[in-house]
Amino acid sequence: MKNQIRFYDTTLRDGEQTIGVNFSIDEKVALAKSLENFGIDAIEAGFPAASAEDFEAVEAVSEAVQEAEVVGLARMVKKDIDAAIAATKKAKHQTIHVFIATSPIHRETKLKMSKAEIIAKIQEDVAYTKSRVDKVIFSPEDATRTEPDYLVESIDAAIAAGATTINIPDTVGYDLPEEYGELFDYLHDHVKAFDQVAWSTHTHNDLGLANANALAGVAHGATEIQGTINGIGERAGNVDLIEAAVTLQVRHDHCQQAIGLNLQQATKIAHQVESYSKVKIAANKAIVGRNAFAHESGIHQDGYLKNPATYEILSPAMVGASASMPLGKLSGSHAVSAKLKELGYEMPIENIAHLFPAFKTLAEKVSIVSDDQLIALAEQEVAEG
Ligand code: KIV
Ligand code: ZN
């Protein structure tokens, strides 16, 4: 039997770090409820120490969510941790996520802290958090650019201090999939209490590898994927949870993990995030883009009409979408005939052959022929007999 992968959504926190995105409290609550219905296991509701409004939003989400864990993010600073604990205290399943950077560039230029000082901070602040809540996630920020032996040292310290999940952020989307997978193998072999905690992936998309990296992490022992809906987030964004989930589902022949999401809601929730964030979904975006199940060329339309599986590796219904066959200059007579039939014009093939040159001329001009335009051509054909 396959293990079920956990999905951890950070649309409301890392996703909101997208330039220009600012969800209202009502939108955060509505999104959290949709995420919960979608089957998300943990919702990172925000960074309560960031502002009074962030605090209020995390509180509101904590009250609204029933089944999923609600997570508050905190730097390793006591006032951040206190704020995260206070804002999530009404959550049915409360979790606190603490992070500190461990890579040389962050230690030396951002934090100006030595390796030993960071280890001491991890010991002190994870223990402080754990003394007040049961579930504590520890993230060594920029883990993938941290010296592996020092990464192990920081994780050992966090586990000894009570962390229950270790998250491995590829903060700047730098790793290649095989490196990210091998990092989990290395941690498996070197972290003293590897089996006593849960392991999570957190991948960014700077090189377009966020999904490949998350799946590599999962193939090498991670049991949870952190990401966002539509992949919104800092710079090029985070792994898109819908892409990760659908990949695991479609390639279940190859992947060892089962998913527990209600995938039929995927398109709807993607559109909700598009609407609230005002970040347009690219037309060619995998799974939820408006072209994801659109077939335009004649060869593809012909194949699709004979058997949708010729050009679709997943049924659009699986993700709550539907296929389309926009009629353009590359479309063939089979597609035109099928569309006419759908519009109530069942014509013999001679009539289609007669109408087709006029369709092609129009398609050259307008690029996509609308239903109304096709009906006008069909009416003309009927009138001419
Ligand atoms: O990308 C990152 O490192 C983060 C951490 C806060 C987990 O978002
Ligand atoms: Zn991140």
Helix (H, G, I), strand (E, B) or coil at 252: coil
Query: What pLDDT does residue 177 have?
Result: 98
Tokens read off for 237 = 């964004």
Q: Whose CA is nearest to atom 6 of ligand 1?
A: 99
Q: How many Cα neighbours within 13 Å face the side chain of 178?
A: 0
* Digit-coded pLDDT (tens) for 130-150: 999 999 999 999 999 999 999
Residue with structure tokens 């909101």? 16
What's the 353 CA to ligand 2 centre distance in angstroms?
Answer: 56
Mean pLDDT is lowest, of 74-78, 342-346, 349-353, for: 349-353
Query: What pLDDT does residue 16 have?
Result: 97
What's the 169 CA to ligand 1 centre distance in angstroms?
Answer: 6
Ligand number nearest CA of 138 is 1
Strands (E), 108-236: 135-141, 165-170, 198-203, 224-227
Identify the CA nearest to 223 among candidates 153, 166, 282. Answer: 166
CA 385/CA 372 separation, integer angstroms? 20
CA angle 182, 186, 191 (to 5 degrees): 145
pLDDT at 384 over 90: no
User: How confident is residue 349, by pLDDT bands cut at 50, 70 and 90?
Assistant: confident
> What percentage of the chain exceeds 90 in pLDDT?
97
Identify the CA nearest to 131 among candidates 160, 161, 153, 159. Answer: 161
Q: Whose CA is nearest to atom 1 of ligand 1?
A: 171
Give the 3-state DSSP-derived string for 163-216, with helices as H, strands as E and coil as C: CCEEEEEECCCCCCHHHHHHHHHHHHHHCCCHHHCEEEEEEECCCCCHHHHHHH
> What percentage of the chain exceeds 70 in pLDDT?
100
What's the 286 CA to ligand 1 centre distance in angstroms?
Answer: 24
Closest ligand 1 atom to Cα of 73: 6
User: What values do phi and psi take at 65, rounded to 5?
Assistant: -85, 135
Closest ligand 1 atom to Cα of 142: 3
What's the 37 CA to ligand 1 centre distance in angstroms?
Answer: 25
What's the 203 CA to ligand 2 centre distance in angstroms?
Answer: 7
User: How confident is residue 155, by pLDDT bands cut at 50, 70 and 90?
Assistant: very high
* Digit-coded pLDDT (tens) for 5-54: 999 999 999 999 999 999 999 999 999 999 999 999 999 999 999 999 99
User: How confident is residue 159, by pLDDT bands cut at 50, 70 and 90?
Assistant: very high
Query: What pLDDT does residue 297 have?
Result: 92
User: How confident is residue 350, by pLDDT bands cut at 50, 70 and 90?
Assistant: confident
What's the 141 CA to ligand 1 centre distance in angstroms?
Answer: 6
Which of the listed residues 170, 202, 204 should we mutate to test ligand 1's pocket, taking the one with most ligand atoms within 8 A of CB?
Answer: 202
* Digit-coded pLDDT (tens) for 296-322: 899 999 999 999 999 999 999 999 999
Query: What pLDDT does residue 239 have?
Result: 98
Closest ligand 1 atom to Cα of 226: 7
pLDDT at 1 over 80: no
CA 168/CA 120 separation, integer angstroms? 20
What's the 170 CA to ligand 1 centre distance in angstroms?
Answer: 8
Q: Whose CA is nearest to atom 8 of ligand 1?
A: 14
Query: What pLDDT does residue 249 have?
Result: 97
**Average pLDDT in the 72-81 region?**
98
User: How confident is residue 153, by pLDDT bands cut at 50, 70 and 90?
Assistant: very high
pLDDT at 348 over 90: no
pLDDT at 180 over 90: yes
What's the 129 CA to ligand 1 centre distance in angstroms?
Answer: 18
Closest ligand 1 atom to Cα of 172: 1
Helix (H, G, I), strand (E, B) or coil at 308: helix
**Which residues are near ligand 1 (CB < 6 Å)?**
14, 99, 139, 141, 167, 169, 171, 202, 204
Which of the listed residues 18, 138, 141 should we mutate to test ligand 1's pocket, taking the one with most ligand atoms within 8 A of CB?
Answer: 141
Query: What pLDDT does residue 274 have?
Result: 98
CA 151/CA 270 separation, integer angstroms? 35
Q: Whose CA is nearest to atom 2 of ligand 1?
A: 171
* Digit-coded pLDDT (tens) for 252-279: 999 999 999 999 999 999 999 999 999 9
Closest ligand 1 atom to Cα of 234: 1
What's the 204 CA to ligand 1 centre distance in angstroms?
Answer: 9
Ligand number nearest CA of 169 is 1
